[in-house]
Structure 1
């Protein structure tokens, strides 16, 4: 591991430079034209078999060692978010209203560095490696599924990925067995009534009252339908309608999200939602239209591959702590890869309050302790270098 430690130290300043360059030049999901070109330029001289524009803006780079070897894929995402960067740092985003507020710039810098180390050590490898640089993780339908359909996982036996996290201190690897992320779905319900004067509600069919009742009844789904030993979230986060204090509108719109782990729970939630909507239509004489968007599936880690990650880091230099944590109700399209091949997804800690780095993801002051990049690269390299056909 000392050899890898030296490799990481030698490449650390360049890795920080890459991360900061991408932080200064963020691009939104499905619009990552300059970022994908930058990534290509950083790996084009490593002797990899590189495919560009995979499933859109994705890049697939293969390090082929032996046809008889298994193949491991490592993934990083590289899109940014529509958030104004409010940090006072030299590498602050130069693009108004857009920033890397989730750490995807760090993921990409770590994977490029990992590719450089492993390409230089190809004679030591007992496994082929595929480096997946994925676009559009932040916006549905995401980039993972399109990349898979375009052959990103062809010939891949296992896949691994990591996400930097401001929840955990630098030097910490956090993991979750079994389900790590929930299925993240979205819904829009349009309630159609008949508008009228606010002083004469009896002459109208009020969609506001119907919508308010609908929101209340949706809250009964989790408390009265879902097994209390299982998890689900039904959140109505938007209620739009009306234009004047004394006018009953023709319609209102409700938007929200549903989060579940198990398909059977998701089916129960949808069944109850449909029943509640029909009841509202009957009770209030309105018409409801449900637009349901199935988001990323639940992310289910393969515990055997997770054990391999932990075992490979027993003598780590930068990963000082490994700790198990509960699942998140957030969504992550890495789940699509895990539906196809076994693997796992884990967190790399980048929190450091002493440096003022403790803001949550998707916050305008989000930043990372760049020392945490070392642990991320160490994890990815160790997964490959310590691989055996397990």
Structure 2
């Protein structure tokens, strides 16, 4: 139902059912997340989850309830703002410092800002030994040594923003 080139992920994070190994439970609960790079894909996946759940349960004489708690929307950078940030980074720090990241399936609150105003989410200082683990990893350690360059970057962005 989705374009196979469009990234989407359904992750089951928790399954709850029963109390012991030899008693058949009367209910089960599956909890997870849907991550996509477009809001339209979320709707398609939600519809399919309901259809599949109803079909499987109907085939076994069971009933189902599906509840979706809407979380953080996909973060989509504005192309014009991204080009602006890229030009400032390249001008200020050189071409070798800039790296355009591939889309990721993470969840980021900044996406709410981008629903209101065009902008660009950027990572700062993610190459050093201290920050070899990704954000939200239990061993992530922010590299304070990049703060001066990060401050310089934000000053340059403000100075040149139109």
Q: TM-score, normalised by structure 1?
A: 0.39
What SS class does the counterpart of residue 102 from structure 2 fall into? coil
Call closer, same or farther: CA 1:294–1:282 in 2, change over 3 Å: same
Please say if 1:255 is aligned against 2:1.
no
After the TM superposition, list the runs of 4 or more consecutive aligned residues in structure 1 that deviate by more than 3 angstroms: 317-320
CA-atom RMSD in angstroms: 2.0
Tell me which protein shows more strand as a share of its residues.
Answer: 1
Distance in 2, Cα, partners of 1:370 & 1:291: 42
Q: Which residues of structure 1 form unaligned runs of 5+?
A: 1-224
Partner of 2:19: 243
Call closer, same or farther: CA 1:360–1:275 in 2, change over 3 Å: same
Aligned to 2:103, which of 327, 337, 352?
327
Are the equivalent residues in 2 in contact too, given 1:350–1:372 (CA < 8 A)? no
Superposition deviation, residue 336 in structure 1: 1.3
Distance in 1, Cα, partners of 2:76 & 2:133: 27
Call closer, same or farther: CA 1:350–1:268 in 2, change over 3 Å: closer
Distance in 1, Cα, partners of 2:131 & 2:117: 35
Aligned length: 162
Partner of 1:374: 148
Are the equivalent residues in 2 in contact too, given 1:233–1:259 (CA < 8 A)? yes
Distance in 1, Cα, partners of 2:31 & 2:148: 41
Aligned runs of 1:263-282 on 2, under 5 Å?
Answer: 263-282=39-58
Instruction: Name which one, 1 or 2, has greater alpha-carbon Rg.
Output: 1
Superposition deviation, residue 317 in structure 1: 5.1
Are the equivalent residues in 2 in contact too, given 1:318–1:378 (CA < 8 A)? no
Distance in 1, Cα, partners of 2:17 & 2:61: 18
CA deviation map 1:78-99 (0-9, x unaligned): xxxxxxxxxxxxxxxxxxxxxx
Between 1 and 2, higher relative CO (CA 8 Å, sep ≥ 6) is seen in 1
Q: Which residues of structure 2 form unaligned runs of 5+?
A: none
Distance in 2, Cα, partners of 1:376 & 1:281: 53
Superposition deviation, residue 320 in structure 1: 5.8
CA deviation map 1:247-306 (0-9, x unaligned): 111211111111112233222212211111111221111121111111111111111112
CA deviation map 1:302-343 (0-9, x unaligned): 111122222223442599600112101011121111111111
Aligned runs of 1:114-133 on 2, under 5 Å?
Answer: none
Q: TM-score, normalised by structure 2?
A: 0.88
